[in-house]
Amino acid sequence: MTQPAALNWRLARWVLLLSQYDIHFMPQKSVKGQAICDLMASHPLGAKTDLFEDLPDEPPEVNTTSSPEVWQMFFDGASRVGMSDPSLQEWGVVLTSPRNHVLPHAFSLTEPCTNNVDEYNALLIGLELARELEIRHLEAYGDSQLIIKQMTGDYEVRNDDLISLHKAATKLVESFKSFCIEHVLRSKNTYADALASLATNLAQPLEMTQ
């Protein structure tokens, strides 16, 4: 009764008016999930909304995840007999960036070796080039099923000439954050194969004709 007289009168008036009703207090029930769905359906959001509007003090970069930039590498190597009978070791490597920039490389060396050794050398050169370019995610493709199966662990490396090459390639693979290697048909590996052939032709000495 310490309130002003006008306020006391208003309270007394409300008490008299409400005394004719039987009033009971009822606690509010929890809202069911269906009611929330109905509310959202009846009040759809606009076509464009700010994704980070509820995080005004946090930069958008913190809440976004970007897909890794994956490079592709096609490699091919083969030993062919030149016109004057030297065995030519040639390799073709094609690196393709995530933005479809193509980096072709062709190498040759006059040394006799098998096709499998050539394929491993092409793979090693490609892996080394990718590491020098600081590529972190790499997908490699080659047309030698034996080399692919050995790199994936499906085949065991038993040839003495291939063991050291396989170990070197496996060591280089560890420098990438992610790496996968798959077999591709020779018809799909024409670019790298053409580079290997080009390296062979450039390395062949011109025949002397009378």
Segment 65-98, tens digit of pLDDT = 567 899 999 888 765 544 444 455 677 888 889 9
Segment 3-47, tens digit of pLDDT = 556 566 777 777 777 777 777 767 766 656 667 777 777 767 665
Provide the token pair at 87.
């065995």
- Predicted local distance difference test score (pLDDT) of residue 189: 59
Please give the domain boundaries of the chain with CATH numbers for all domains: 70-111+119-203 (3.30.420.10)
Residue-averaged pLDDT of the chain = 75
Question: If you write DSSP's letter for every residue of 126-141 in order, what string do you get?
Answer: HHHHHHHTT--EEEEE
- Predicted local distance difference test score (pLDDT) of residue 209: 35
Segment 37-50, tens digit of pLDDT = 777 777 676 655 55
DSSP percent split of the chain into helix, strand, coil, nearest 5? 40, 20, 40
- Using only C-alpha atoms, the chain has a radius of gyration, in whole angstroms, of 37
User: Apex CA 21: angle with CA 16 and CA 25, to 5°?
Assistant: 110
CA distance linking residue 182 with residue 195, whole number of Å: 20
Query: Residue 121: helix, strand or coil by DSSP?
Result: helix
Segment 95-139, tens digit of pLDDT = 889 998 888 887 776 666 788 988 899 899 999 999 999 999 999
CA distance linking residue 203 with residue 197, whole number of Å: 10
Q: Which of 127, 188, 180, 193 is nearest to 151 (CA)?
A: 180
